[in-house]
Amino acid sequence: MIAAEPYLKTQRVAEALGISVSTVKRWVDSGMIRAARTAGRHRLIPCSEALRVAREQGFPEANLQLLTGRMAAPTKAAEHDPLDLLERLLREARGPEARTLIHSLYRSGWSAVALGDDLIRPVMERIGHGWMVGSLDVYQEHEATQIVADALRDLVDRVGRDRPEAPLAIGTNPEGDPYVLAGLLCELVLREMGWSVRNLGCNLPLQSLAQAAVHHRPRLVYISVAYLGDEDQFIREYQSFFARAAAVGSAVILGGQALGPGIRSRLIYASHGERLAHLAEFARRLAPVSPAGTPEHPEVA
């Protein structure tokens, strides 16, 4: 049965392709991928077979190299320092490996709050510093952002579906603010906690956010502000937004680098957070809901 080629465990194939072990097992059991069985009934997949299916499924070259061992699995290297590894992968725009790293850390137990507060924020700070000192160009900031945003959107799609009985949160970054990562992370944190979420993206006039609050009557509105062009205009628009959101019973939580204590002292809000951990705690108090998936982590299929 065993020909002169390496046979891979389902765990190894899953890690290399950035998918879950149960998906690989399903592929084997459905006959989509040929495999042998050990005496203990464990599935062993010929490397050529894994490569054939990975190519058919359109996985990028980098994942194929991970399969054949021509490239070290990021998780191994990440055992040392995931921040250093993610920074390097983003600086070199190695999207598939960065995505595999973020997903494998999530699968290995990092919560959405930890991914945001302890990995993505500090690594993006380093990317920002690279831009500031000229070792990185603006396009590389955009590239890094897109790579992380795509990886997060995958997780958001798999972590939590909207449930009619779940409390609803809506969120955005205001007009003139193009930042997307904090909003995606707020969505991932809330979905992981079992909330339904309407992530309205970035650059949304607050007057329109007020419309959305009146229409959806959300339990929670989160606003992330990473960039403020005109502070006075923002405060004016925010006050009329807040009045309408409060009128439909929505609790407003603010956050983001551009909202320093000075400007916050001129705003009314239910809560403010420096970290996603603060959002999670506020949401937990506001509406204790059961997480969408299993106690540890929903199956990131």
How near is the Cβ of 267 to ligand B12 at its closest, in Å? Answer: 13
Structure tokens belonging to residue 93? 């725009």
Question: Distance between CA atoms of 83 and 148, rounded to whole angstroms?
Answer: 13
CA dihedral 53, 55, 61, 64 (to 10 degrees): 20
The full DSSP string for 22-37 is: HHHHHHHHTTSS--EE
CA gap 275, 280 in Å, rounded: 9
- Is 133 a binder of ligand B12 (CB under 6 A)? no
Q: How far is the CB of 176 from ligand B12 (least distance, A)?
A: 6
The verdict on 236 binding ligand B12 (CB under 6 A) reads no
Closest approach, Cβ 111 to ligand B12, in A, equals 12
Q: Is 170 an interacting residue with respect to ligand B12 (CB under 6 A)?
A: no
Q: Which amino acid is at 252?
A: V
Instruction: State which of residues 117, 175, 187, 192 lies at the interface with ligand B12 (CB under 6 A).
Output: 117
- Work out how close the CB of 190 gets to ligand B12 at its nearest, in angstroms, rounded to a whole number: 10
Residue tagged 């062993």 (tokens): 44
As a whole number of angstroms, the distance between CA 34 and CA 49 comes to 6
3-state secondary structure at position 185: helix
**Min CB(132)–ligand B12 separation in Å:** 4
Choose which of 129, 161, 163, 217 interacts with ligand B12 (CB under 6 A): 129
Structure tokens at 25: 């097992």
User: Whole-number minimum distance, CB 61 to ligand B12, in Å?
Assistant: 26
**Strand 7-9, strand 43-46: pairing:** antiparallel
Q: Which is nearer to ligand B12, 50 or 190 (CB)?
A: 190
Strand partners, 37: 43
Among 28, 226, 252, 283, binds ligand B12 (CB under 6 A): 226
Pairing of strands 251-255, 196-199: unpaired
Kindly provide the residue ranges of all beta strands, DSSP E only, lying in the chain, ordered along the sequence.
7-9, 36-37, 43-46, 168-172, 196-199, 220-224, 251-255, 271-273
For ligand B12, the closer CB: 27 or 106: 106
Please tell me whether residue 154 adopts helix, strand or coil conformation: helix
Q: Is 90 in the site for ligand B12 (CB under 6 A)?
A: no
Contacting ligand B12 (CB under 6 A), which of 30, 39, 138, 265? 138
206 is an interface residue for ligand B12 by CB under 6 A: no
Nearer to ligand B12, 6 or 176 (CB): 176
Q: Are 160 and 293 in contact (CB under 8 A)?
A: yes
Q: Binding to ligand B12 by residue 150, rule CB under 6 A?
A: no
Based on the shown chain and the rule CB under 6 A, indicate whether residue 151 belongs to the binding site for ligand B12. Answer: no
Rule CB under 6 A: is residue 13 a binding residue for ligand B12?
no
Residue among 49 and 118 whose Cβ is closer to ligand B12: 118
* CB 94 to ligand B12: min, Å: 17
Give the binding site for ligand B12 (CB under 6 A): 116-117, 120-121, 124-125, 127-129, 132, 138, 141-142, 145, 176, 178-182, 185-186, 222, 224, 226-227, 253-257, 273, 275-276, 278-279
